[in-house]
């Protein structure tokens, strides 16, 4: 996935669509961020620590699970997967870091190991009062209290589309495409989703075209490639190198600077 | 004293154990414990399955008319997707449709007014509710006091036109609108401005936060993509570095409340190039605002002002935009006029005045004709709340008690009047309603294009249908309502036409400029300026009832039940305020307490930016009692043309 921050107006449609699609629990007060259950966090950031009025700017960064690959693409081991004692989280054939709510025992090791705070813990039983139950999506199971949940790039939509394609006689699974809820909702098309392994996909073409504006949330390591390739390779082999698959695009230097993995 | 022997000891011990156990069993604790255990171990709700289908429809919430697809599982709607662009309105629609606090039948008040509890209401049938309301209206009309019937609408749409017509047919001119971009520009300019943002090449926004819910969000988002493709220049004048200001090509960091003065400064420069608009009297005022004076008042440099005027006048199709804010729009009529004058001066093709053609004039009965002479037409809603009088008021989807600076006064007057509220949720205004009519979401509305995709929720009905049915029962009004239903009416309604010329009222301009200059003078009592900021999904408070919208509120705005106001770092230092401190804010109109500070340089010096949309008294448990509503302490100066308070900029102090 790629998110063009120069096009993001911070409207929050992605977060609303995500909550609706993924049966987010409903609470009366969700204003306590560490306890808030959501997959997509719309972060408001500003450079007001380093700049004074009127040189400041604000920006919104939609942050979800970065779908890390780890240091070995053949055997992907993101930081969260290697710590799970019950294999509730794993990387599937589709490259998506999955999480099975009902298998989770709530030890929260994965939450602690996630460098992006992309996982949420259900401190309370998710309740859907009255008719809210009617709007629940049957493709996403409702989590019980004491489990960790996370964004899975709406992989249930991929499965739905795959089944539909197979029923229609399509035999090549790689030909199946889909759009996660957040990407579908983005009104300015700031979010692009596609197959990173396919050089012809819109996503891959965008990333190769916009190399200068692209960064990931580990770009101190990515930057090293230009400066010191040997050191870069060594850093990539570090045990918890996340190697995320979400790319951000911006023309503002301060955003890149702020989002550095320090 | 008798010595306790072994037998007694065993008896007492046994008794204590038996008593304790029976107490434990009868207290219900073991059953509750078992219930918890079950919840912990196996209770997991499984959403019901069903046949999957996708219903295609058109969102008629705005003029963009986006195509929508509703994913259905059996008879449940589980997701809405729009084909071209999403907007918070459609994303929130399912939450409104299935809201646990949605009103599912007409309600009659049985308890005290001003209470939020549903126990203060009882469900009644439509016939009973309409009968009771029409009986009260008939009584007033019979006494030739129809001018004491009033109506307040939210949107400028056909259902609101029906309410206007009903009020007028009863013999009253008291049909008002909540201040919105449309209603304010209509009052100031005589028509609403239709902007062609896609074809403009330079956009000069006077505090209009174009990408934060302003106008029609769908169109603005689409226009934004076009601007990026075509290289359209966006120049934003605002006292806060909002997201729109950050995305703009140029930001003009003006002092709070000086948008009108900047417009005069640019007009002054354009006049030097031989451009004119508004007549001699208007241009005489423009002449007084030379760049050096404007620079001193707005805090910009002379060079900046001249450059902007140059860019604006050289553009092929420039457009200047008035209407400060995102959803909660507030600009003075003078500002609307001055900005529109800029468009005329620059020969903009991208701002056209249009006038809606709704239903025309109703037929008046003898009683109505007699009472309409008594009815005093006031300029706008706040003017009406302050100076008007009513005995029966019908509120159509609006929430003026929450949104108006005069909300408290309105609540007081409503306490004594007969109030009817048409709303899907019990909002702050409906707290004072005697009868509540449950209205529909757009997913349940029949449209001119066809039947609604979903069936109406329980006993709800469209606001238009409520009003048509009500009109059938009111004396002397029926003739003006020949339609069988709202759908019947849609088919016959007309489109908008071009509005006539604008009346550039120089007197209003001079008064408004004098007021701004007075407000800008440093004051010992109220040293700071307060201006509002909005979150796109919360807006002016409408989004607060939706729990998924609450999940997207950032922690620098509202955290752990506390609302944060933004203060410039240096200013905070001067006032001895630190990050996260609890402060009170006072203006000459009142005081609000218990807000936290967030120090940030995104706000101009000597300025506080306070989020709108918080501090509801009602509007479901998700919105209720969260943060504070600053409208009560915001400026109450009523604009002579729009008749609404220009609350945008207020002088305040903190303690």
Environment class of B253 (CB within 10 Å of its CB; exposed 0-12, middle 13-18, buried 19+): buried
Identify whether residues B236 and B347 lie together within a single domain: yes
What residues of chain A lie within 8 A of the CB of B251, using their CB? 54
Average of per-residue pLDDT across A186-209: 92
- Which residue shows structure tokens 């059996």? B74
pLDDT tens per residue, range A68-94? 998 888 888 899 999 999 999 999 888
The distance of Cα B515 from the centroid of its chain, to the nearest Å, equals 25
Instruction: Please indicate whether, in this complex, the C-beta atoms of A28 and B621 are within 8 angstroms of each other.
Output: yes
Distances, alpha carbon A94 to alpha carbons A40, A196, A208, B58, in Å: 20, 11, 22, 35
What residues of chain B lie within 8 A of the CB of A137, using their CB? 47, 73, 78-79
- Under DSSP, the state recorded for B77 is E
pLDDT at B530: 94
Average of per-residue pLDDT across B148-164: 90
pLDDT, averaged across chain A? 90
Identify whether residues B21 and B147 lie together within a single domain: no
B93 at the A interface (CB within 8 A)?
Answer: no
pLDDT at B406: 94
Average of per-residue pLDDT across B274-278: 87
Find all residues with CB under 8 Å of B435, minimum gap 6, and list them: B106, B107, B108, B109, B129, B132, B133, B419, B420, B421
Residue B508 lies in a domain: no
Environment class of A59 (CB within 10 Å of its CB; exposed 0-12, middle 13-18, buried 19+): buried
Identify whether residues B487 and B536 lie together within a single domain: no
pLDDT at B422: 94
Taking the C-alpha atoms of residue B406 and residue B152, their distance in angstroms, rounded to an integer, is: 14
Give percent of chain B above pLDDT 90.
59
pLDDT tens per residue, range B359-373? 778 888 888 888 888
pLDDT at B596: 94
pLDDT band at B127 (very low <50, low <70, confident <90, very high): very high
CATH number at B56 reads 2.20.25
Average of per-residue pLDDT across B172-183: 91
Identify whether residues B136 and B74 lie together within a single domain: no
Give percent of chain B above pLDDT 70.
95
B221 at the A interface (CB within 8 A)?
Answer: yes
Identify whether residues B535 and B413 lie together within a single domain: no
Domain with B433, as residue range(s), is: 107-181+367-493
Q: Domain boundary at B355, B385, B411, which?
A: B355
Identify whether residues B634 and B535 lie together within a single domain: yes
Instruction: Please indicate whether, in this complex, the C-beta atoms of B98 and A131 are within 8 angstroms of each other.
Output: yes
Residue B511 lies in a domain: no
Identify whether residues B89 and B113 lie together within a single domain: no
Instruction: Please indicate whether, in this complex, the C-beta atoms of B47 and A56 are within 8 angstroms of each other.
Output: no
pLDDT at B43: 61
Identify whether residues B483 and B448 lie together within a single domain: yes
pLDDT at B612 over 70: yes
User: Which range is least confidently modeled, B76-85, B171-180, B427-436, B508-517?
Assistant: B76-85
pLDDT at B88: 67
- Measured in angstroms, the CA of A6 and the nearest CA of chain B are apart by 7
Q: Name the strand (E) or helix (H) holding A254.
A: helix A253-258
pLDDT at B61: 65
Instruction: Please indicate whether, in this complex, the C-beta atoms of B551 and A145 are within 8 angstroms of each other.
Output: no
CATH number at B610 reads 2.40.40.20
**Residue B603's closest chain A neighbor by CA?**
A53
Identify whether residues B144 and B177 lie together within a single domain: yes
- Which residue shows structure tokens 């900005």? B339
Residue B517 lies in a domain: no
- Write out residues 16-55 of B within 8 Å (CB-CB) of A: 39-40, 43-50
Evaluate whether B475 touches B365 at the Cβ level (below 8 Å). Answer: yes
pLDDT band at B216 (very low <50, low <70, confident <90, very high): confident
Average of per-residue pLDDT across A5-9: 93
Instruction: Please indicate whether, in this complex, the C-beta atoms of A53 and B559 are within 8 angstroms of each other.
Output: no
Handedness of CA B162, B166, B172, B178 (dihedral sign): negative
Identify whether residues B400 and B484 lie together within a single domain: yes
- Write out residues 614-643 of B within 8 Å (CB-CB) of A: 621-622, 626
Produce one character per residue of B403-437: b if its CB has 16 or more CB atoms within 10 Å, e if not. Answer: bbbbbebbbebbeebbbbbbbbbbbbbbbbbbbbb
CATH number at B381 reads 3.40.50.740
Distances, alpha carbon B215 to alpha carbons B49, B173, B183, B327, B588, in Å: 39, 27, 12, 7, 31
Residue B372 lies in a domain: yes
pLDDT at B235 over 90: yes
Identify whether residues B56 and B147 lie together within a single domain: no
Q: Domain boundary at B474, B493, B512, which?
A: B493
pLDDT at B449: 65
Q: Which domains does chain A have, with CATH numbers?
A: 2-258 (3.30.70.20)
Environment class of B126 (CB within 10 Å of its CB; exposed 0-12, middle 13-18, buried 19+): middle
Residue B10 lies in a domain: yes
Evaluate whether A156 touches A164 at the Cβ level (below 8 Å). Answer: no
pTM: 0.90
What residues of chain A lie within 8 A of the CB of B78, using their CB? 20, 135-138
B250 at the A interface (CB within 8 A)?
Answer: no
Residue B507 lies in a domain: no
Q: Which residues pair with A44 in a beta bridge?
A: A60
Measured from the Cβ of residue A98, the count of other Cβ atoms closer than 10 Å reads 15
pLDDT at B479: 86
pLDDT at B468 over 60: yes
Measured from the Cβ of residue B86, the count of other Cβ atoms closer than 10 Å reads 27
Give the CA count within 13 Å in the CB-facing half-sphere of A237. 6
- Which residue shows structure tokens 């394609």? A165
Average of per-residue pLDDT across B180-192: 89
B68 at the A interface (CB within 8 A)?
Answer: no
Residue B308 lies in a domain: yes
What residues of chain B lie within 8 A of the CB of A143, using their CB? 44
pLDDT at B450 over 70: no
Taking the C-alpha atoms of residue B399 and residue B542, their distance in angstroms, rounded to an integer, is: 9
**Residue A132's closest chain B neighbor by CA?**
B98
Measured from the Cβ of residue B21, the count of other Cβ atoms closer than 10 Å reads 11
Distances, alpha carbon B440 to alpha carbons A130, A179, B396, B621, in Å: 18, 31, 12, 20
Find all residues with CB under 8 Å of B297, minimum gap 6, and list them: B255, B258, B261, B517, B520
Q: Domain boundary at B493, B508, B536, which?
A: B493
Measured from the Cβ of residue B487, the count of other Cβ atoms closer than 10 Å reads 18
Residue B509 lies in a domain: no
Instruction: Please indicate whether, in this complex, the C-beta atoms of B44 and A130 are within 8 angstroms of each other.
Output: no
Helix (H, G, I), strand (E, B) or coil at B520: helix
> In sequence order, what DSSP letters do the residues of B39-75 get, joined into one string?
HHHT---------EEEEEEE--SSTT--EEEEEEETT
Number of independent structural domains in chain B: 5
Q: Which residues pair with B395 in a beta bridge?
A: B152, B421
Q: Name the strand (E) or helix (H) holding B177.
A: strand B175-177
pLDDT tens per residue, range B477-497? 888 888 888 888 877 766 666
Instruction: Please indicate whether, in this complex, the C-beta atoms of A32 and B560 are within 8 angstroms of each other.
Output: yes
Taking the C-alpha atoms of residue B207 and residue B210, their distance in angstroms, rounded to an integer, is: 9
B255/B1: higher pLDDT:
B255
Identify whether residues B189 and B177 lie together within a single domain: no
pLDDT at B447: 67
Which has the closest alpha carbon to B331: B623, B622, B531, B176?
Answer: B531
Taking the C-alpha atoms of residue B541 and residue B372, their distance in angstroms, rounded to an integer, is: 35
pLDDT, averaged across chain B? 89
**Residue A50's closest chain B neighbor by CA?**
B601
Environment class of B24 (CB within 10 Å of its CB; exposed 0-12, middle 13-18, buried 19+): exposed
Distances, alpha carbon A37 to alpha carbons A15, B91, B339, B530, in Å: 12, 19, 45, 33
pLDDT at B203: 95
């Amino acid at each position: 996935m790629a998110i063009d921050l120069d096009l993001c107006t911070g409207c929050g449609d992605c977060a609303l669509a995500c909550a609706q699609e993924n049966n987010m629990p409903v609470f009366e007060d969700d204003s306590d961020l560490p306890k808030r259950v959501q997959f997509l966090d719309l972060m408001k950031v500003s450079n007001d620590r380093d700049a004074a009025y009127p040189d400041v700017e604000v920006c919104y960064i939609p942050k979800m699970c970065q779908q890390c690959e780890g240091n070995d693409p053949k055997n992907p081991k993101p930081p969260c997967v290697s710590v799970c004692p019950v294999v509730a989280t794993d990387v599937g054939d589709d490259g998506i870091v999955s999480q099975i709510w009902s298998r989770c025992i709530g030890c929260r090791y994965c939450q602690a190991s996630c460098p992006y705070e992309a996982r949420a813990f259900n401190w309370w039983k998710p309740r859907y009062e009255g008719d809210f139950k009617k709007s629940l999506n049957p493709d996403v199971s409702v989590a019980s209290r004491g489990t960790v949940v996370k964004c899975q790039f709406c992989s249930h939509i991929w499965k739905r589309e795959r089944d539909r394609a197979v029923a229609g006689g399509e035999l090549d699974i790689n030909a199946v495409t889909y759009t996660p809820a957040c990407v579908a909702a983005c009104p300015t098309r700031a979010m692009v989703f596609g197959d990173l392994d396919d050089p012809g996909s819109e996503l891959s073409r965008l990333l190769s075209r916009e190399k200068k504006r692209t960064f990931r949330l580990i770009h101190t390591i990515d930057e090293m490639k230009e400066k010191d390739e040997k050191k870069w390779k060594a850093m990539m082999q570090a045990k918890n190198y996340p190697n995320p698959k979400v790319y951000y695009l911006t023309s503002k230097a301060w955003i890149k600077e702020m989002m550095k993995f320090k | 004293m008798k010595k306790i022997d072994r037998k007694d000891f065993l008896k007492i011990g046994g008794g204590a154990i038996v008593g304790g156990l029976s107490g434990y069993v009868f207290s219900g604790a073991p059953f509750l414990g078992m219930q918890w255990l079950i919840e912990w171990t196996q209770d997991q709700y499984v959403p019901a399955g069903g046949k999957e289908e996708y219903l295609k429809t058109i969102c008629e919430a705005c003029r963009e008319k986006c195509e929508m697809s509703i994913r259905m599982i059996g008879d449940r709607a589980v997701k809405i997707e729009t084909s071209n662009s999403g907007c918070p309105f459609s994303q929130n629609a399912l939450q409104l449709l299935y809201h646990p606090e949605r009103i599912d039948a007409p309600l009659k008040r049985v308890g005290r007014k001003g209470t939020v509890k549903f126990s203060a209401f009882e469900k009644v049938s439509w016939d009973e509710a309409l009968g009771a309301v029409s009986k009260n209206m008939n009584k007033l009309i019979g006494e030739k006091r129809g001018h004491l019937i009033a109506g307040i609408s939210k949107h400028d749409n056909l259902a609101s036109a029906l309410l206007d017509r009903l009020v007028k047919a009863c013999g009253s001119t008291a049909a008002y609108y909540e201040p919105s971009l449309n209603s304010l520009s209509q009052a100031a300019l005589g028509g609403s401005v239709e902007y062609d943002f896609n074809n403009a090449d330079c956009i000069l926004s006077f505090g209009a936060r174009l990408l934060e819910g302003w106008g029609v969000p769908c169109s603005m988002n689409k226009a934004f993509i076009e601007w990026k493709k075509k290289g359209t220049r966006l120049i934003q004048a605002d006292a806060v570095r909002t997201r729109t200001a950050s995305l703009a090509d140029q930001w003009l960091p003006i002092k709070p409340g000086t948008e009108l003065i900047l417009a005069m400064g640019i007009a002054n420069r354009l006049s030097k190039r031989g451009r004119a608009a508004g007549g001699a009297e208007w241009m005489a005022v423009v002449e007084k605002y030379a760049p050096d004076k404007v620079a001193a008042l707005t805090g910009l440099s002379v060079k900046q002002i001249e450059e902007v005027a140059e860019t604006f006048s050289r553009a092929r199709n420039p457009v200047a935009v008035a209407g400060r804010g995102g959803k909660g729009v507030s600009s003075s009529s003078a500002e609307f006029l001055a900005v529109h004058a800029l468009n005329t001066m620059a020969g903009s093709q991208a701002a056209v005045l249009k006038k809606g053609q709704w239903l025309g004039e109703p037929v008046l009965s003898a009683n109505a004709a007699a009472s309409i002479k008594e009815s005093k037409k006031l300029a706008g809603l706040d003017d009406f709340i302050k100076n008007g009088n009513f005995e029966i008021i019908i509120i159509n989807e609006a929430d003026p008690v929450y949104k108006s600076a005069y909300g408290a006064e309105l609540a007081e007057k409503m306490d004594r009047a007969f109030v009817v509220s048409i709303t899907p949720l019990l909002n702050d205004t409906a707290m004072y309603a005697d009868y509540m009519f449950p209205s529909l979401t757009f997913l349940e509305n029949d449209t001119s294009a066809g039947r609604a995709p979903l069936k109406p929720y329980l006993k709800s009905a469209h606001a238009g249908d409520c009003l048509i049915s009500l009109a059938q029962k009111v004396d002397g009004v029926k003739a003006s309502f020949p339609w069988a239903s709202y759908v019947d009416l849609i088919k016959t309604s007309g489109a908008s036409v071009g509005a006539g010329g604008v009346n550039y009222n120089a007197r209003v301009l001079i008064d408004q400029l004098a007021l701004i200059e007075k407000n800008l003078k440093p004051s010992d009592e109220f040293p700071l300026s307060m201006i509002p900021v909005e979150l796109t999904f919360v807006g002016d408070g409408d989004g607060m009832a939706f729990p998924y919208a609450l999940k997207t509120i950032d922690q620098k705005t509202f955290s752990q039940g506390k609302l944060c106001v933004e203060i410039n770092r240096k200013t905070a230092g001067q006032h001895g305020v630190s990050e996260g401190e609890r402060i009170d804010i006072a203006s000459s109109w009142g005081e609000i307490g218990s807000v936290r500070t967030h120090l940030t340089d995104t706000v101009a010096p000597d300025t506080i930016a306070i989020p709108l949309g918080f501090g509801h008294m009602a509007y479901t448990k998700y919105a209720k009692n969260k943060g504070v509503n600053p409208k009560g302490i915001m400026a109450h100066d009523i604009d002579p043309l729009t008749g609404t308070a220009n609350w945008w900029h207020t002088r305040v102090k903190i303690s």
